[in-house]
Amino acid sequence: MTKYIFVTGGVASSLGKGILAASLGKLLQARGFSVTNQKLDPYVNVDSGTLNPYEHGECYVTVDGHEADLDLGHYERFMNVEMHKVNNITTGRIYRNVIERERRGDFLGKTVQVIPHITDEIKRNVKALGMQGNYDFVITEIGGTVGDIESLPYIESVRQMKWELGRDCLCIHLTYVPFLSAAKELKTKPTQHSVKALQQEGVQPDIIILRTEHEISQEMKRKVALFCNVEADSVMQSVDASSIYRVPLNMQAERLDEIVLRKTGFDLAKVPSADMHDWNGFLEKLESATEEVKITLVGKYVQLQDAYKSIRESLTHAAAYNHRKLILNTVLSDTLTDSNVVESLKEQDGIIIAPGFGNRGVEGKLRAIRYARENNIPCLGICMGMQAMAIEFARNVLGYKDANSTEFNEMTTHNIVDMMEEQKTLLNKGGTMRIGAYPCQLKPQSLAFEVYRKPLIYERHRHRYEFNNKYRDEFEKAGMLCSGINHDSDLVEIIELKNHPFFVGVQFHPEYSSTVLNPHPLFMKFIQVAVGK
């Protein structure tokens, strides 16, 4: 019987529900259970594909081509398992499904309502995930904060599921305990209010987790327990951690996994304890590294931490495994000019050229690429980063001064990057983007082959434009090897420069598949070369 754990949030957003849900998943998995995570997003967009990274952070892409909430990235990185479209549901999708059924006449003349039709559809999506994978645990995180109008149908679904499933369904409520510096006091009142709001919607939390900047005393936990109808050992703290990868261990110290198992009816004597050996190995490397590796990320959304979340985390993994402390600088590509490029990028061990859509900041990226190419600085270009590498090469090595992507200049005479006929053979019906995992064949005797150590790889894509095959021979003759090819369409997936320590552009997004226990080989190699090993 699958157990369903819901994670709700109160008081404020951005408390780290995703990290908490991923941490619990990790701990249960480390005890031998099969676990999956799910994110329910209360916005009306059908998926995250159209959301501005400035507002919502990066759009994460699953192997099956779903444009997902970035929390799915945390789940994959923590648990080392792949997420799919079913792991992320939005209000837009729920309503679309219900409305499509209504149009088909499935409701036989009934009035279609939020309760029960929308809530039934929400529950169906949660339970379908549990049944589909035969999981022991489904951990479902509900976006937003309790009390929001838009999350009401989700909380109502939790209420119904708790009623239907009894102890096979739990609610963990994460709240915030502010520290008033003038009074030098932690305050639990907002927590009490948010639990009241949850109770008003019919849900009694089973476990309350208090996010805080300072240690919370046993006495304060007992007080919260008393006010909120929760057992004293089910009130836990989650103190700000030096790294998100510490959180599973912090929650283990609070006995989160143990309490969840007890409440869902497991005999603890019969369940093995969590084996966190490999995880601890990673953390030790992460926390003990003192020698630095300085990487600059050049992109157009660098002001927001979450906009390139997966790239940041992939670099963190790779730096730790290379025993280096990551110093990640960022440069807003729009601001790079011929006169400040050297100043902005000097003394860096490596440069990442970020993905992106649209014209803004492209010329700055080209300047950064030229600097990396001419000064032998390790450089990894991702998706648009790879396209920019190709454009820069065409302009400054092949001498095509107007070389461009038709995304930025439709009239260019040298359309190094363009929409390709071949791409159509790869697109899903109706789709305009190449999205999700595609195979890529690697050329022997290439750096790419040396990195992956196998001839066939699968990597995730999210783009419309492609390297123009018309220029392939010319590129190769001038020293830019097209080392990764999709054989179904003959599209170029990887370019790499000979006679450069590491100058690699990838049309796909390696950052989506780096996990704590499986750092991505491309980032590993990039850091390795960057530190001169």
**Binds ligand GLN (CB under 6 A): choice among 96, 196, 360, 464:** 464
Helix (H), strand (E) at residue 157: helix 152-165
Catalytic residue among 169, 383, 440, 482: 383
Closest to ligand GLN by CB, 93 or 365: 365
The reply to whether 162 sits near ligand GLN by the rule CB under 6 A is no
Stretch that binds ligand GLN, among 6-14, 299-307, 436-444, 458-466 (CB under 6 A): 458-466
Stretch that binds ligand GLN, among 49-57, 85-93, 305-313, 352-360 (CB under 6 A): 352-360
Closest to ligand GLN by CB, 462 or 520: 462
**Least distance (Å) between residue 355 CB and ligand GLN:** 3
Catalytic residue among 117, 317, 509, 520: 509
In degrees and rounded to multiples of 5, residue 116 shows phi and psi of -100, -5
**Least distance (Å) between residue 356 CB and ligand GLN:** 5
Nearest to 433 by CA among 463, 412, 454, 388: 463
Report how far apart, in Å, the C-alpha atoms of 471 and of each of 7, 130, 394, 475, 505 are: 51, 49, 9, 6, 16
The reply to whether 462 sits near ligand GLN by the rule CB under 6 A is yes
**Binds ligand GLN (CB under 6 A): choice among 78, 301, 371, 465:** 465
Catalytic residue among 459, 466, 493, 511: 511
The question of whether 277 is a catalytic residue gets the answer no
Closest to ligand GLN by CB, 33 or 465: 465
Binding to ligand GLN (CB under 6 A) within 404-433 occurs at: 407
Dihedral Cα 18, 20, 26, 27, nearest 10 deg: -160
Q: Rounded to an integer, what distance in angstroms lies between the CA atom of residue 162 and that of residue 181? A: 39
Q: Residue 364: helix, strand or coil by DSSP?
A: helix
Closest to ligand GLN by CB, 119 or 507: 507
Q: Locate 105 and state its tokens.
A: 């006449």
The question of whether 509 is a catalytic residue gets the answer yes
Work out whether the CA dihedral 146, 195, 5, 233 comes out positive or negative. positive
The reply to whether 355 sits near ligand GLN by the rule CB under 6 A is yes
Closest to ligand GLN by CB, 175 or 405: 405
What percentage of the chain's residues is helix, strand, coil (to nearest 5)?
Answer: 45, 20, 35
**Least distance (Å) between residue 445 CB and ligand GLN:** 28
497 strand-pairing partners: 480
The reply to whether 357 sits near ligand GLN by the rule CB under 6 A is yes
Q: Locate 423 and state its tokens.
A: 């791409």
Stretch that binds ligand GLN, among 49-57, 178-186, 343-351, 457-465 (CB under 6 A): 457-465
Binding track over 364-403 against ligand GLN, x by CB under 6 A? -------------------xx-------------------
Closest to ligand GLN by CB, 324 or 365: 365
The reply to whether 463 sits near ligand GLN by the rule CB under 6 A is yes
User: What would the DSSP string read from start to end of 164-198?
Assistant: HHGGGEEEEEEEEE-EETTTTEE--HHHHHHHHHH
Q: Locate 231 and state its tokens.
A: 């057992």
Stretch that binds ligand GLN, among 175-183, 232-240, 353-361, 479-487 (CB under 6 A): 353-361
Stretch that binds ligand GLN, among 101-109, 167-175, 279-287, 463-471 (CB under 6 A): 463-471
CB-CB neighbours of 117 under 10 Å: 22
Report how far apart, in Å, the C-alpha atoms of 178 and of each of 14, 213, 217, 223, 275 are: 14, 8, 14, 16, 33
Name 229's Cβ contacts closer than 8 Å, sequence gap at least 6.
Answer: 199, 204
Binding site for ligand GLN (CB under 6 A): 355-357, 383-384, 407, 462-465
Active site residues: 383, 509, 511
